[in-house]
């Protein structure tokens, strides 16, 4: 009778997880924050929380937005009806620690005319001017009258809540250099989550020639 030999296969040994010291983990965390997170927020996208009702009902206090900082600077400039997040235009009378959110009404080189609250635009394409569709404005202000001609690097911006917005009607045109970006995503409130918040459809944005 032959002796049988039992062969036992040992399980593979698992390498012990590397142990990192507190200082190694801290340095790694700081490096990620400095070289990835902060540059992303400064140059690509940044979260904002709306505080105020100047854009109501489009935006209201507490709305949480992600603002794109790249597209307008590298791909194409802002267009009419775009929503813009911008630096405070008048730090003397307002809080320089906060930023504004408004809607672009007039583009560089155009003349913006407001008469009894109605806004019209004159440019090279429409030398006789055209009236803007403001059907998205739920709270108009019908006693505004002014004429503003924009330079090649200026925009005219207004809040959707015309009756309660501090905008270009009061402090003048917005310099292009003061534009931070535009909202690409709304994360709060839950019933308003979506991309391109505040965007206006082509149907709504149609204009009427005078």
Query: Based on the number of CB atoms within 10 Å of its own CB, is 102 exposed (0-12), middle (13-18) or buried (19 or more)?
Result: buried
pLDDT in tens, 111-157: 999 999 999 999 999 999 999 998 899 999 998 899 999 999 999 99
Told to judge if 4 belongs to the known catalytic residues of this protein, a careful annotator would answer: no
From the candidates 4, 21, 102, 192, give the one annotated as an active-site residue: 102
Class of domain 46-209: mainly beta
Told to judge if 138 belongs to the known catalytic residues of this protein, a careful annotator would answer: no
Q: Where are the beta strands (DSSP E) in the chain?
A: 45-49, 64-68, 83-87, 99-106, 111-115, 118-122, 130-131, 145-149, 154-158, 174-175, 179-188, 194-195, 208-209
pLDDT in tens, 35-69: 444 444 444 568 888 999 999 999 999 999 889 88
From the candidates 4, 19, 21, 54, give the one annotated as an active-site residue: 54
pLDDT at 23: 62
């Amino acid at each position: 009778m032959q002796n049988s030999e039992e062969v036992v296969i040992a399980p593979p040994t698992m390498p012990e997880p590397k142990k990192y010291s507190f200082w190694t983990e801290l340095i790694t965390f700081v490096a990620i924050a400095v070289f990835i997170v902060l540059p992303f927020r400064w140059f690509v996208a940044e979260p904002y929380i709306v505080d105020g009702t100047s854009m109501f009902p489009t935006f209201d206090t507490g709305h949480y937005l992600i603002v794109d900082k790249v597209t307008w600077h590298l791909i194409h400039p802002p267009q009419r009806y775009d929503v813009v997040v911008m630096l405070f235009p008048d730090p003397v009378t307002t809080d320089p620690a906060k930023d504004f959110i408004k809607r672009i009404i007039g583009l560089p080189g155009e003349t913006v005319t407001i008469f009894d609250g109605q806004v019209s635009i004159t440019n090279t394409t429409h030398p006789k001017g055209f009236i803007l569709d403001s059907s998205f404005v739920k709270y108009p202000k019908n006693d505004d009258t002014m004429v503003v001609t924009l330079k090649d690097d200026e925009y005219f911006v207004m809040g959707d809540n015309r009756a309660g917005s501090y905008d270009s009607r009061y402090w003048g045109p917005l310099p292009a250099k003061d534009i931070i970006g535009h909202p690409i995503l709304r994360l709060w409130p839950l019933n308003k989550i979506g991309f391109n918040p505040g965007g206006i459809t082509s149907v709504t944005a149609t204009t009427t020639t005078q």
